[in-house]
Amino acid sequence: MVVIVGLASIGLFGLIGVLLVKKLGDNTPGLIISNKGITDNSSAMSSGFVPWDDIIEMKEIQIVNQRFINVVVKNPQDYIDRQKSAFKRKSLQLNFNQYGCVIGITPNGLKCNYKELKELLDNKLAEYKKASA
């Protein structure tokens, strides 16, 4: 049992390490906010482009000492299915099952703090909803 748990841990943390190293070499902006939507490249589990029309709401969540902005979308399965990696698809499915959301954005790695990021996203979403009403 100990050997199985040890091998599973090595595999999981090894894969996470590979994803982190890959992300460190990535020079694309972590988050792009436009009039069309947001493009999330902020983590190894990034969701890519999310149009404002797909976004239902922004929810705050805290896991241990880490604060996230969960972007609730109309069709979360589409964002899971478009991931190329089976590991990423499974991770997003687990996030959805546990937190009801597949897109989580944190300011870690971005050039802003949590409050600034939350205000900016909330304002842009409200601006889009007002313009489309």
Instruction: Give one DSSP letter per residue of 3-40, joined into a string.
Output: HHHHHHHHHHHHHHHHHHHHHHT--S-SEEE-SSEEEE
Instruction: Determine whether 89 is exposed, middle or buried from the number of CB atoms within 10 Å of its CB (0-12, 13-18, 19+).
Output: middle
pTM of the model: 0.75
Q: Residue 34 phi/psi, 5° resolution?
A: -130, 180
Dist. CA 30–CA 39, nearest whole Å: 8
Dist. CA 30–CA 47, nearest whole Å: 11
Q: Which residue has the tokens 């943390």?
A: 13
- Tens of pLDDT along the chain (133 residues) come to 888 888 888 877 776 666 666 555 556 777 899 999 999 887 767 788 999 999 999 999 888 888 889 999 999 999 999 988 888 899 889 889 988 889 988 887 788 889 999 999 999 999 999 988 7
Q: Topology of domain 28-132, per CATH? A: PH-domain like (2.30.29)
Q: Alpha helices, DSSP H only, in the chain?
A: 2-24, 76-81, 86-99, 114-132
**Token pair listed for 72:** 């609730």
Q: Residue 58: left if φ>0, alpha if ψ -120 to 50, beta else—which one? A: beta
